[in-house]
């Protein structure tokens, strides 16, 4: 997972000092003076975390968060403000912001928040790839295998699935073995977990 941080602040001094702090802490930093300049370079393939000031000329930090969400970006966003108030914090959280930090902030608080944001992003990425893989495997199942899988996910015994589908329990066992193989599941609980992850 990239330890990239995109720092967006119209104040040169804040931008430079925050960039220096984060680089010293081992992050790769890309700094921008406005939300618009960040969006201009945004490709949608970025990974990492955005740290943005809330009050800037043009796009505010919250407007930038909303725009990134509309673009389908999964980057966690940390908003900084020198004008912290409760309504703005609530609005920031509703906009899907990971954290809300008041200036002047403690260096450790900022670094810790970024570490947490990156961990959460990595978890989301791992879950997404696991879900996509499980969906692909389920798509490769035959109609009958789908039906058997659905019965297994519902916790039904082989003989109940057999009765529901009008086939013999032995045939259900064969389909069940095929499903386990195609899904790459080591046991029934793993199979059920994969099916739930795929949204089946």
pLDDT in tens, 2-46: 589 999 999 999 999 999 999 999 999 999 999 999 999 998 888
CATH architecture of 140-197: Orthogonal Bundle (1.10)
What's the mean pLDDT in 129-151? 89
How far, in Å, CA of 2 to CA of 79, rounded?
Answer: 20
pLDDT of residue 196: 80
What's the mean pLDDT in 136-154? 92
Residue 186 vs residue 8, higher pLDDT = 8
- Based on its alpha-carbon atoms, the radius of gyration of the chain, rounded to whole angstroms, reads 24
pLDDT of residue 123: 79
Residue 189 burial by Cβ neighbours in a 10 Å radius (0-12, 13-18, 19+)? exposed
What's the mean pLDDT in 164-185? 94
Report domain extents, the chain.
4-129, 140-197
How far, in Å, CA of 32 to CA of 39, rounded?
Answer: 10
Region of poorest pLDDT, from 79-88, 109-118, 149-158, 177-186:
79-88
CB-CB contact of 26 with 71 (8 Å) = no
pLDDT at 154 over 80: yes
Q: How far is CA 18 from CA 10, 25, 167, in A?
A: 12, 11, 67
pLDDT at 128 over 90: no
pLDDT of residue 20: 96
Residue 120 half-sphere exposure toward CB, CA atoms < 13 A: 15
Q: How far apart are the first and last CA of the chain?
A: 29
Among 59, 107, 53, which residue's Cα sits nearest to residue 80?
A: 53
Residue 82 vs residue 18, higher pLDDT = 18
Predicted model pTM: 0.64
Region of poorest pLDDT, from 35-49, 84-98, 183-197:
84-98
* 140-197 and 4-129 share a CATH fold: no
Element (H, E) at 53: strand 49-53
For residue 5, give both structure tokens: 């941080």
Pick the CATH number of 4-129 from 3.40.50.2300, 3.90.1150.200, 2.60.200.20, 3.30.460.80: 3.40.50.2300
Residue 90 vs residue 80, higher pLDDT = 80
pLDDT of residue 1: 47
pLDDT of residue 24: 94
């Amino acid at each position: 997972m990239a330890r990239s941080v995109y720092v967006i602040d119209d104040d040169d001094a804040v931008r430079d000092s925050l960039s220096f702090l984060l680089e010293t802490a081992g992050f790769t930093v890309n700094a921008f003076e406005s939300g618009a300049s960040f969006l201009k370079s945004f490709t949608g393939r970025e990974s990492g975390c955005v740290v943005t000031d809330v009050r800037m000329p043009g796009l505010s930090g919250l407007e930038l968060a909303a725009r990134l969400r509309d673009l389908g970006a999964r980057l966690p966003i940390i908003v900084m403000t020198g004008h912290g108030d409760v309504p703005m914090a609530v609005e920031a959280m509703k906009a899907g912001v990971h954290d809300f930090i008041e200036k002047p902030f403690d260096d450790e608080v900022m670094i810790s928040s970024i570490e947490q944001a990156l961990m959460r992003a990595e978890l989301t990425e791992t879950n997404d790839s696991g879900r996509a893989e499980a969906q692909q495997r389920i798509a490769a199942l035959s109609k009958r295998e789908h039906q058997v899988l659905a019965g297994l996910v519902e916790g039904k015994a082989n003989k109940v699935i057999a009765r529901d589908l009008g086939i013999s329990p032995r045939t259900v066992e064969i389909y069940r073995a095929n499903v386990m193989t195609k899904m790459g599941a080591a046991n029934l609980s793993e199979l059920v977990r994969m099916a739930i992850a795929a949204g089946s």
